[in-house]
């Protein structure tokens, strides 16, 4: 897997208040999560989005694929609760810069998350009502042939994806929810849990990734390398969001 984490870098921060919120939520709070969800509204309402980037049978904190100088706990994690006055190290650790979280879910399940700080607009929209189902379906029907052409046929690169051009031109945003090996991906063609447009093994190479989208245009899967995959939620934007991303378009 590529050592470079490709994202749009928007929203990542190392400010003190955000790091304090991470500490209170994960180190002191020690939340029990369903690792199959990939999205946790209770964290996002606090301005925290966590993106799974590694699922291994060993401690990933010393991996060369991430650049972390120091971890908060920096000791072996166990299944008991963290306490600052005892040797109980809990199930969570965080990098001191607030960019990564490590979760020991079970004895042989170790998860690494990239942390994203949500911007003011994302927080605002979390609390607003969504568009009705008919309008949502209509807009996604219009988008389907466009995304088939741009992603599946032409192999849109992640650099192009994170340039905000899709947001500006088509009012659609790809929200990254997981990066990992094929065997750990929640959504992938030919897996049977959702219906895909192509439903074929994804190709890769020649600087062009392989893509597929679900027939309802709600989920996308990208294959960047031999065993490096990305899952995205396809989000429809309102006019305020389109204007926000248009200002950032490269």
Residue 37's Cα: distance from chain center in Å?
11
Cβ atoms of 72 and 19 closer than 8 Å? no
**Residue 151 falls within a domain, yes or no?**
yes
Cβ atoms of 118 and 13 closer than 8 Å? no
Tokens coding 208: 């062009």
Q: Grade residue 8 by pLDDT with cuts at 50, 70 and 90.
A: very low
Q: How many CB atoms lie within 10 A of CB 122?
A: 20
Tokens coding 129: 């009502």
pLDDT number for residue 87:
58
pLDDT number for residue 89:
81
Rounded average pLDDT over 156-175: 94
**Residue 125 falls within a domain, yes or no?**
no
pLDDT number for residue 203:
94
Pair 218, 158 in one domain: yes
**Residue 7 falls within a domain, yes or no?**
no
Rounded average pLDDT over 245-250: 82
pLDDT, tens digit, 9 for 90 and up, residues 97-143: 999 999 999 888 999 999 999 988 888 888 877 789 999 999 999 99
Mean pLDDT of all residues belonging to the chain: 89
Percent pLDDT > 70 in the chain is 90
Tokens coding 4: 């470079």
**Residue 55 falls within a domain, yes or no?**
yes
Pair 98, 173 in one domain: no
DSSP per-residue letters across the chain = --SS--S--TT----HHHHHHHIIIIIIT-----TTS---HHHHTTTEEEEEEEEESS--TT-TTS--S-BSS-S---SS-B-TTSS-B-SEEEBTTSSEEEEEEETTEEEEEEEEEPPHHHHHHHTSPPPPHHHHHHHHHHHHHHHIIIIIIT---HHHHTTTHHHHHHSEEEEEEEEE-GGG-SS-TTSSSS-BSS-S-----TT--EEEEBTTSSEEEEEEETTEEEEEEEEE--HHHHHHHHTT--
With tokens 């995304």, the residue in question is 147
Q: Grade residue 48 by pLDDT with cuts at 50, 70 and 90.
A: very high
Residue 8 neighbours by CB under 8 Å, 6+ apart = 162, 164
Pair 139, 221 in one domain: yes
Report the alpha-carbon distance of residue 43 to residue 20 in Å, rounded.
Answer: 14
Pair 112, 143 in one domain: no
Report the alpha-carbon distance of residue 211 to residue 216 in Å, rounded.
Answer: 15
pLDDT number for residue 152:
97
Pair 22, 108 in one domain: yes
What is the span of the domain harbouring residue 216?
Answer: 132-246
Instruction: Decide: residue 127, CB within 10 A, 0-12 exposed, 13-18 middle, 19+ buried.
Output: exposed
The total number of structural domains in the chain stands at 2
**Residue 122 falls within a domain, yes or no?**
no
Write down the pTM of the prediction: 0.89
The residue ranking higher by pLDDT, 124 or 188, is 188
pLDDT number for residue 78:
80
Pair 60, 113 in one domain: yes
pLDDT number for residue 4:
44
Rounded average pLDDT over 5-28: 76
Pair 234, 182 in one domain: yes
The residue ranking higher by pLDDT, 249 or 234, is 234
Rounded average pLDDT over 172-193: 93
Kindly calculate the radius of gyration of the chain based on its CA atoms and give it in whole angstroms. Answer: 19
Pair 113, 186 in one domain: no
Rounded average pLDDT over 35-50: 94
Q: Given strand 109-117, what is the order of strands in its sheet?
A: 92-94, 100-106, 109-117, 48-56, 172-180, 228-236, 219-225, 210-213
Highest mean pLDDT pick, 57-66, 74-83, 170-179: 170-179
């Amino acid at each position: 897997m590529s050592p470079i984490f490709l994202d749009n870098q928007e929203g990542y921060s190392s400010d003190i208040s955000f790091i304090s919120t991470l500490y209170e939520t994960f180190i002191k709070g020690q939340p029990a999560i369903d690792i199959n969800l990939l999205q946790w509204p209770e964290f996002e309402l606090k301005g925290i989005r966590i993106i799974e980037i590694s699922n291994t049978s060993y401690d990933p904190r010393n991996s060369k694929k991430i650049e972390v100088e120091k971890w908060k706990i920096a000791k072996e994690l166990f299944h008991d609760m963290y306490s600052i006055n005892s040797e109980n190290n809990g199930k969570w650790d965080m990098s001191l810069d607030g960019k990564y979280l490590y979760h020991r879910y079970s004895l042989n399940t170790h998860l690494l998350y990239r942390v994203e700080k949500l911007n003011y607009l994302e927080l605002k929209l979390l609390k607003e009502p969504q568009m009705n189902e008919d309008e949502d379906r209509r807009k996604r029907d219009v988008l389907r042939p466009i995304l088939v052409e741009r992603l599946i046929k032409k192999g849109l690169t992640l650099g192009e994806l994170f340039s905000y051009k899709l947001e500006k031109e088509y009012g659609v945003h790809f929200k990254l929810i997981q990066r990992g090996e094929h065997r750990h991906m929640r959504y992938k063609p030919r897996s049977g849990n959702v219906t895909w447009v192509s439903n074929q093994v994804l190709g890769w190479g020649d600087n062009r990734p392989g893509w597929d989208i679900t027939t309802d245009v709600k989920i996308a899967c990208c294959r960047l390398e031999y065993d490096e995959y990305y899952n995205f939620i396809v989000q429809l934007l309102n006019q305020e969001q389109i204007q926000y991303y248009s200002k950032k378009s490269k």
